[in-house]
Amino acid sequence: MSEVYAARRERLRDHCTATGSGAALVSRPANVRYLAGAAPSGAAVLLGGKEDVLLCPEAPGAQGETGRPDESLRLHVLAAPGADAAVAAAELLVGEGADGARSLAVEEDHLTVARHRALSQVAPRLGLADLGGAVERLRLVKDEEEISCLRIAAEIADQALSELLESILVGRTERHLALELERRLVDHGAEGAAFPTSVGTGPHSGMPAHRPTDRRVEEGDFLSVCLGASYRGYRCEVGRTFVIGTSPAPWQIELYEVVFAAQRAGRETLAPGAACRDVDRVTRGVLDSAGYTEGLAPRTGHGVGLEIDEDPRLGPAAMGKLDACVPVTVEPGVHLPGRGGVRIDDTLVVRPEADGGPELLTITTKELLAL
Amino acid sequence: MSEVYAARRERLRDHCTATGSGAALVSRPANVRYLAGAAPSGAAVLLGGKEDVLLCPEAPGAQGETGRPDESLRLHVLAAPGADAAVAAAELLVGEGADGARSLAVEEDHLTVARHRALSQVAPRLGLADLGGAVERLRLVKDEEEISCLRIAAEIADQALSELLESILVGRTERHLALELERRLVDHGAEGAAFPTSVGTGPHSGMPAHRPTDRRVEEGDFLSVCLGASYRGYRCEVGRTFVIGTSPAPWQIELYEVVFAAQRAGRETLAPGAACRDVDRVTRGVLDSAGYTEGLAPRTGHGVGLEIDEDPRLGPAAMGKLDACVPVTVEPGVHLPGRGGVRIDDTLVVRPEADGGPELLTITTKELLAL
Q: For A232-244, how does the pLDDT look when each residue is reduced to its tens digit (9 = 90+)? A: 999 999 999 999 9
Note whether residue B229 is domain-resident.
yes
Specify the pLDDT at position A59.
80
**Is the per-residue pLDDT at A197 higher than 50?**
yes
Of B120, B138, B156, the last residue of a domain is B138
Domain boundary among B74, B108, B138: B138
Number of compact structural domains in chain B? 2
Residue at B306: amino acid letter? L
Q: Is the pLDDT of residue A94 over 60?
A: yes
A and B: number of Cβ contacts within 8 A: 69
Element of type H or E holding A164: helix A144-165
Residue B366 counted as domain residue: no
Return d(Cα A269, Cα A294) in angstroms, integer: 23
| Residue B136 vs residues A157, B33, B141, B305, B319: alpha-carbon distances, Å | 39, 12, 10, 10, 15
Q: What is the pLDDT of residue A58?
A: 83
Domain identity same for B322 and B355: yes
Q: Which residues pair with B198 in a beta bridge?
A: B226
Q: Could you give the CA distance from residue A139 to residue B136 in angstroms, rounded to a whole number?
A: 36
pLDDT of residue B307: 97
Residue window 158-197, chain B: list those with CB within 8 Å of chain A: 175-176, 179, 182-183, 186
> With contact defined as beta carbons under 8 Å apart, do B291 and B258 qualify?
no
Q: Please, which pLDDT band fits residue B63 given cuts at 50, 70 and 90? A: very low
For chain A, percent of residues with pLDDT exceeding 70? 97
Angle between helices B29-36 and B2-19 (to 10 degrees): 120
Residue A203: strand, helix, or coil: helix
Q: What percent of chain B has pLDDT over 90?
A: 79
CA-CA distance, A39 to A191, in Å (whole number)?
Answer: 14
- CA B329 remoteness from chain centre: 10
Q: What is the mean pLDDT of chain A?
A: 92
CATH number for the domain including A152?
3.90.230.10
Taking every pair of C-alpha atoms in chain A, what is the biggest distance, in angstroms? Answer: 75
Pick from B124, B127, B125, B91: nearest CA to B106: B127
The whole-number pLDDT of residue B289 equals 95
- Rounded CA Rg of chain A: 23
Is residue B367 in some structural domain?
A: no
Residue B172: list chain A partners with CB under 8 A: none
Measure B31 CA to nearest chain A CA, in Å.
Answer: 16
Tell me, what DSSP letter sits at residue A103? E
Residues A170 and A300 in one domain: yes
Q: How confident is the model at residue A67 (pLDDT cuts 50, 70, 90)?
A: confident
Average pLDDT taken over every residue of chain B: 92
End-to-end alpha carbon distance in chain A:
44
Indicate yes or no: CB of A110 within 8 angstroms of CB of B115: no
- For residue A182, the chain B residues in CB contact (below 8 A) are 179
Closest CA to B129 of B43, B18, B53: B18
pLDDT of residue B17: 87
Q: Residue B260 and residue B343: Cα distance in Å, rounded?
A: 8
Residue A351 · residue A359 · CB < 8 Å: yes
Under the banding of pLDDT at 50, 70 and 90, the label for residue B100 is low
Q: How confident is the model at residue B65 (pLDDT cuts 50, 70, 90)?
A: low
**Residue A224, helix vs strand vs coil:** strand
Asked whether the beta carbons of A200 and A223 are under 8 A apart, the reply is: yes
pLDDT at res. B246: 80
Phi, psi of A212 (to 5 degrees): -55, 140
A368 and A256 Cβ atoms separated by less than 8 Å: yes
- Region A103-118: mean pLDDT is 95
Residue A274 to residues A13, A285, A330, B114: CA-CA distances in angstroms? Answer: 29, 16, 14, 30
Element (H, E) at A277: helix A276-289
Contact A113 B114 (CB under 8 A): no
ipTM of the shown complex: 0.82
Choose from B25, B28, B68, B112 for mutation: most chain A CBs within 10 A.
B112
Nearest-angstrom CA–CA distance, A257 and A250 = 11
Strands A53-56 and A44-47: antiparallel
pLDDT band of A96, cuts 50, 70, 90: confident
The residue out of A139, A167, A192 marking a domain boundary is A139
Kindly determine whether residue A108 and residue B111, on different chains, have CB atoms separated by under 8 Å: no
Residues B196 and B339 in one domain: yes
Q: CB-based contact (8 Å) between A116 and chain B?
A: yes
Statement: residue A11 has pLDDT above 80: yes
Say yes or no: B121 contacts chain A, CB-CB below 8 A: no
Give the model's confidence band at A30: pLDDT under 50 very low, under 70 low, under 90 confident, else very high: very high
Asked if residue B145 and residue B134 are part of one domain, the reply reads no
Residue range A32-41: average pLDDT? 94
Domain assignment of residue A369, yes or no: no
pLDDT on residue A63: 47
pLDDT classification of B94: cutoffs 50, 70, 90: confident
Give the pLDDT confidence score for residue B66 in this predicted structure.
64
Same domain (yes/no): B77, B152: no
**Of A159, A332, A313, whose CA–CA distance to A229 is shortest?**
A159
For residues B80 and B57, what is the distance between their CA atoms, to the nearest angstrom?
8
How many of the other CB atoms lie within 10 Å of CB of A362? 25
Q: Band of the pLDDT at A229, cuts 50, 70, 90? A: very high
Q: What is the pLDDT of residue A312?
A: 96
Residue A114 near chain B (CB below 8 Å): yes
Question: Which residue, among B104, B107, B113, would best test binding to A if mutated, counting the most A CBs under 10 Å from its CB?
Answer: B113
Q: What pLDDT sits at residue B80?
A: 80
Of the listed ranges A94-98, A272-276, B121-125, B217-221, the least confidently predicted one is A94-98
Decide the pairing of beta strands A229-231 and A234-235: antiparallel
User: Which pLDDT score, from 0 to 100, does residue B103 have?
Assistant: 87
For residue B354, what is the DSSP state? G
pLDDT in tens, A296-331: 888 999 999 999 999 999 999 999 999 999 999 999
Among A51, A207, A65, A363, CA closest to B196: A65
Query: Residue B113: which of A108, A175, A315 has the nearest Cβ?
Result: A108
Same domain, A90 and A223: no
Cα angle A231-A236-A241, degrees, rounded to a multiple of 5: 135
Same domain membership, residue A189 and residue A124: no
Sheet containing A234-235: which strands, arranged edge to edge? Answer: A192-193, A229-231, A234-235
Q: What is the pLDDT of residue A65?
A: 53
Q: Tens digits of per-residue pLDDT, B167-179?
A: 989 999 999 999 9
Instruction: Please check whether residue A370 lies inside any domain of the structure.
Output: no
Q: Is A292 helix (H, G, I), strand (E, B) or coil?
A: coil
What is the band of A126 on the pLDDT scale with cuts at 50, 70, 90?
Answer: confident
pLDDT at B20: 85
Contacts of A18 (CB under 8 A, 6+ apart): none
The predicted pLDDT at position A98 comes to 66
CB B183 to CB A183 under 8 A? yes
Burial of B339 (0-12, 13-18, 19+ CB in 10 A): middle
- Which residues are within 8 A (CB) of B168 and not within 5 positions of it... i.e. 6 or more apart? none
B371, part of any domain: no
Contact yes or no for A113 and B109 at CB 8 A? yes
* H-type alpha helices, chain B: 2-19, 29-36, 85-95, 113-122, 134-140, 144-165, 174-187, 250-269, 276-289
Q: Which of A106, A113, A181, A299 to mutate to test the interface with B (most CBs of B within 10 A)?
A: A113
Whether A190 is covered by a domain: the verdict is yes
When pLDDT is cut at 50, 70 and 90, the band that residue A119 belongs to is very high
pLDDT at res. B297: 86
Question: What's B42's domain CATH number?
Answer: 3.40.350.10
Residue A66 is predicted with a pLDDT of 64
Is residue B370 domain-resident? Answer: no
* Parallel, antiparallel or unpaired: strands A192-193 and A53-56: unpaired
The answer on B238 and B110 residing in a single domain is no
Contacts of A211 in chain B (CB under 8 A): 61, 63, 65
Task: Read off the amino acid at residue A152.
Answer: I
Q: Is A191 exposed, middle or buried (0-12, 13-18, 19+ CB in 10 A)?
A: buried
CB proximity B64 to A under 8 Å: yes
Domain extent, residue A208, equals 141-360
- pLDDT, average across residues B28-35: 97
Q: Is residue B56 domain-shared with residue B70, that is, in the same domain?
A: yes
Nearest by CB to residue A63, choosing from B61, B179, B211, is B211
Q: What is the pLDDT of residue A291?
A: 94
Q: Which residues of B touch A82 (CB under 8 A)?
A: 298
pLDDT at B64: 45
Clarify whether residues B267 and B189 are in a common domain.
yes
Check whether residue B209 and residue B281 sit in a common domain.
yes
What is the structure's pLDDT at B68?
84
User: Looking at the structure, do residues A152 and A112 belong to the same domain, yes or no?
Assistant: no
